[in-house]
Amino acid sequence: MKHPEHHLFSMTPEELGQWCEARGMKRFRAKQILEWIYQHGSADPREWSNLSARDRECIASEMTILSGRTITHQLATDGTQKLLIQWEDEPSRPDDSMKLSVLQDDPSRQTECVMIPSLGSDTSRKTACISSQVGCPVGCRFCASGLSGLDGNLSTGRIVEQAWRLGRLEGVGRISNVVFMGMGEPLSNFRPVVNAVRRLAAPTPEGMGISARKITISTVGLPQAIRKLSEELDLPVTLALSLHAPSDDIRRELIPWAEYTTIAELLSACQAWFEKTGREITLEYTLLGQLNDQSDHARELARLAKTLRANINLIRYNEVEGLPYKRPRDSDVTRFQTILRENGTNCHIRASRGRDIAAACGQLRHEHRADSA
């Protein structure tokens, strides 16, 4: 009987070797299995021709390889692709009377993930935007992901599985970058996210072989978790802080969790991150029309940014049906960036990708759409 902990995408080579030995297989079978998954892209044990029929049957019956199914697959006009995944209802104990099943179109077990191809000359850049939770506990007022609250954490295997699935889409090939900017607050699902980063960054065939420098963890800001991450994750990932406001008053209007911490405390934790890792912080700032996109906001943001080694990503608000916020005017965005640069900050405007399929920043949500592919 399959057990939820036996998810292939969560296992290290050592753990998989032990799993194989416990079932009467040779330990080197672990390497062969990982090669089929990460090098050949095959998740079907029936195709694993260098394993015996007995071993293939054992793997198929006792190990979880793909733990969900794609409900919808959407393609945007700019080449962005989005998957809505329904996760299986796995039993919490190994009881033969419990059957592995899929809850039909249940939003409480669905997440979205996105593959974003480069629009520039570097066609090898393929970014997987993945989720860490089903829903989100933070509830940012302008974001679709937290409208229904949090339904649960994703396991390490399910986090890695999203990136693997996106890499298997037609025409995609190798995923080069990963951003934890989908549904959920990554640092509130700390251990599975950290373990997932290690599997994503592990060299092929032990993992997906994605450079840690091309993996970004985005957080709304949990000071203690940021400090813990700098101590535990010995990989040169990028940390992105979702700031979204230049003052505590405005931030508390937009982000409920901002009631529990201040911008000063967040920047102090980010400074500790830099001192420990030597990695520059990215400050993410969503521009909401006439709310946080004025000249005085830009000057205050520049003052904050200069207190630590940071660059700023400006994100135009992407509309969410039913929410009152407005996308900023292009002239206001340009003026905002100009002020930041005049005040000595490194600042870029992030392109909004996949807006026509609600795949852009802040638009991901767990619901079954009628326009399924």
Q: Among 9, 279, 297, which Cα is nearest to 158's?
A: 9
Helix (H, G, I), strand (E, B) or coil at 214: helix
C-beta neighbour count of 136 within 10 angstroms: 27
Query: Is 284 annotated in the active site?
Result: no
Report the residue count for the chain: 373
Query: Is 361 annotated in the active site?
Result: yes
Catalytic residue among 112, 161, 206, 284: 112
Q: Which residue has the tokens 């299986």?
A: 88
| Cα gap 272→279, rounded to integer Å | 10
Task: Print burial letters for 37-63: b (CB count within 10 Å at least 16), e (below 16).
Answer: bbeeebbebeebeebeeebbebbeeeb
Helix (H, G, I), strand (E, B) or coil at 328: coil
| Cα gap 340→303, rounded to integer Å | 9
The residue type of 373 is A
Residues 154 and 163 sit within 8 Å (Cβ to Cβ): no
Catalytic residue among 129, 140, 347, 361: 361
Q: Which residue has the tokens 């959407």?
A: 74
Residue 295 is given by DSSP the state H
φ, ψ dihedrals at 266, nearest 5°: -65, -45
Hey, what are 324's tokens?
A: 């009152």
φ, ψ dihedrals at 7, nearest 5°: -100, 120
- The set of catalytic residues is 112, 361
